[in-house]
């Protein structure tokens, strides 16, 4: 599907949101999949119809035929098959580690061909987390990297992510840049998770220099269908001089110069001083109650929500004293949350700022579902920004102290009570421990 629509136009789906904040990414992903599908069909003209039935592409004989690496002898392939057969019988991660070391010690020339990047090493993460032995897993991983660098490279974008998490846990952020270049070198989509991880943990001092060096590659490469999201921290950082009350002409000039130095297609108005004067006014205007009645007109409703979230950004900067980039991070999350929340609940609620923990939870789960698992970093960021959003609404006068306290306590209890479960499956839970 090719959508002829501007990024800042109303989305074609009828949600009332801007296209870039609604269906843009999914449209780009669908177009990419269609291109790949067309290319695959063109290169494989013997495929049976229909093309969209993958089961027809594989014969029953293929399913029963073991894979044989053409770079190895029959004897070597048989040794690896036997090793895998034994590995799959092991249920204890310590026994699995011992079996991997047996491969390393007795068949070192076959490690690169063993296919460890497809299964074995990834299976070690969860049991190490459950046993509070993540340090041991990283020690094994770094030893694997040192002994068999070529085998490590086969999935280094995933392995490096585990190491980056570990470095954050141990306050060794200065080493993280050593693990970032591979995400550009191999065009890895795992880069999106790295960007989200560093931004959500307020490590933009590491992230921004990396993006400054590589944003052109990210924009121009077909590997990154979500390029706009990946470079968003860089664009937000460029606006920092104007993210304060009473901006001066030099602040506006600096912001405009920052943006001009980024080779990116911006809307023309962003280079007008009046744009930033208006933005500053909206960000830091006095806190007053917002209309509590939901506008009947959808356009007016969306405009109101945009104004609310914009002033919330100013609240994060001026009242919470967060860095501009971390404030932008939470601002983007509250934008996602409030539009989804009211998409689900506006017809059921007559009051704009009447929240329930059940509906908050349902909204956040909707936003964080990723196939069969949750995006833990996104989950935490959404709960956290919603927590601070209640403080903002109290300051505006839309919630009283009792309402704000009740909702914040419920948000904290809901997230924190589930953290033990998160620790069993998400290495990121080692970094982000509680709310607030």
pLDDT of residue 310: 97
Q: pLDDT digit string (tens) for 187-213?
A: 999 999 999 999 999 999 999 999 999
* Closest of 147, 72, 146 to residue 115, by C-alpha: 72
Higher pLDDT, 369 or 308: 308
Segment among 67-71, 77-81, 336-340, 353-357 with least mean pLDDT: 67-71
Q: pLDDT digit string (tens) for 61-84?
A: 444 456 678 889 999 999 999 999
Stretch 87-93: mean pLDDT? 95
Asked whether the predicted pLDDT for residue 110 surpasses 90, the reply is yes
pLDDT of residue 67: 67
Task: Compute the C-alpha angle 246/252/253, nearest 5°.
Answer: 145
Place of tokens 């949600």: 15
CB 374 within 8 A of CB 192: no
Which residues, 6 or more positions from 339, have their beta carbon under 8 angstroms from its beta carbon?
15, 17, 21, 302, 305
Q: What six digits make up the tokens of 10? A: 């109303």
CB 414 within 8 A of CB 357: yes
pLDDT of residue 433: 83
pLDDT of residue 356: 93
Which residues, 6 or more positions from 299, have their beta carbon under 8 angstroms from its beta carbon?
16
Asked whether the predicted pLDDT for residue 325 surpasses 80, the reply is yes
Sign of CA dihedral 207, 210, 215, 218: negative
Asked whether the predicted pLDDT for residue 415 surpasses 60, the reply is yes
pLDDT of residue 351: 82
Higher pLDDT, 351 or 242: 242
The DSSP secondary-structure symbol of 66 reads P
Alpha helices by DSSP H, listed for 44-69, are: 60-64
pLDDT of residue 51: 39
Give the chain's mean pLDDT: 88
Q: pLDDT digit string (tens) for 149-199?
A: 999 999 999 999 999 999 999 999 999 999 999 999 999 999 999 999 999
Asked whether the predicted pLDDT for residue 436 surpasses 90, the reply is no
Q: Where are the beta strands (DSSP E) in 315-424?
A: 369-370, 373-374
CB 382 within 8 A of CB 407: no
**Dihedral angle of Cα 259, 263, 269, 270, to the nearest 10 degrees:** -20
Stretch 138-145: mean pLDDT? 98
Q: Cis peptide before 277, with omega less than 30 degrees from 0?
A: no
Which residues, 6 or more positions from 217, have their beta carbon under 8 angstroms from its beta carbon?
184
d(CA 276, CA 270): 8
pLDDT of residue 308: 97
Stretch 109-132: mean pLDDT? 95
* Closest of 157, 67, 83, 153 to residue 120, by C-alpha: 83
pLDDT of residue 277: 96
pTM: 0.83
Q: pLDDT digit string (tens) for 19-66?
A: 555 566 556 555 555 554 454 445 445 444 443 444 444 444 444 456
CB 215 within 8 A of CB 262: yes
* Closest of 326, 341, 346 to residue 386, by C-alpha: 341
């Amino acid at each position: 599907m090719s959508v002829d629509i501007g990024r800042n136009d109303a989305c074609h789906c009828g949600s009332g949101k801007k296209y870039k904040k609604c269906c843009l990414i999914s449209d780009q992903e669908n177009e990419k999949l269609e291109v790949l599908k067309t290319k695959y069909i063109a290169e494989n003209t013997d495929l049976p119809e229909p093309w969209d039935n993958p089961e027809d592409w594989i014969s029953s004989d293929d399913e029963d035929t073991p894979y044989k690496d053409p770079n190895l002898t029959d004897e070597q392939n048989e040794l690896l098959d036997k090793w895998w057969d034994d590995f799959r019988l092991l249920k204890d991660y310590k026994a699995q580690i011992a079996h991997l070391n047996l491969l390393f010690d007795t068949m070192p020339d076959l490690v690169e061909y063993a296919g460890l990047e497809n299964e074995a090493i990834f299976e070690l993460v969860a049991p190490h987390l459950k046993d509070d032995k993540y340090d041991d897993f990283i020690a094994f991983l770094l030893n694997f990297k040192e002994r068999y660098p070529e085998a490590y490279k086969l999935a280094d974008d995933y392995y490096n992510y585990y190491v980056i998490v570990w470095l954050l846990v141990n306050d060794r952020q200065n080493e993280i840049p050593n693990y970032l270049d591979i995400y550009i070198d191999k065009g890895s989509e795992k880069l999106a998770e790295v960007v989200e991880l560093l931004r959500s943990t307020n490590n933009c001092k590491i992230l921004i220099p990396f993006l400054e060096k590589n944003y052109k590659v990210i924009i121009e490469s077909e590997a990154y269908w979500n390029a706009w999201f990946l470079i968003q921290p860089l664009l937000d950082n460029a606006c920092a001089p104007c993210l304060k009350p009473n901006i001066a002409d030099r602040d506006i000039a600096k912001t405009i110069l920052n943006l001009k130095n980024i080779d990116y297609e911006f809307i023309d108005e962003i280079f007008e001083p009046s744009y930033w004067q208006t933005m500053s006014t909206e960000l830091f205007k006095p806190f007053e109650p917002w209309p509590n009645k939901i506008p009947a007109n959808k356009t007016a409703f969306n405009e109101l929500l945009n104004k609310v979230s914009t002033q919330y950004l100013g609240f994060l900067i001026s009242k919470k004293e967060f860095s501009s980039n971390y404030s932008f991070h939470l601002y983007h999350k509250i934008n996602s949350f409030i539009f989804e929340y009211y998409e689900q609940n506006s017809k059921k609620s007559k009051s704009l700022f009447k929240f329930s923990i059940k509906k908050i939870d349902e909204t956040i789960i909707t936003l964080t579902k990723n196939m069969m698992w949750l995006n833990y970093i996104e989950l935490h960021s959404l709960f956290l920004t919603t927590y601070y959003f209640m403080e903002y609404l109290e300051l505006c006068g839309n919630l009283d102290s009792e309402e704000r306290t009740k909702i914040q306590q419920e948000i904290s209890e809901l997230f924190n009570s589930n953290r033990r479960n998160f620790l069993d499956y998400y290495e990121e839970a080692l970094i982000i421990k509680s709310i607030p």
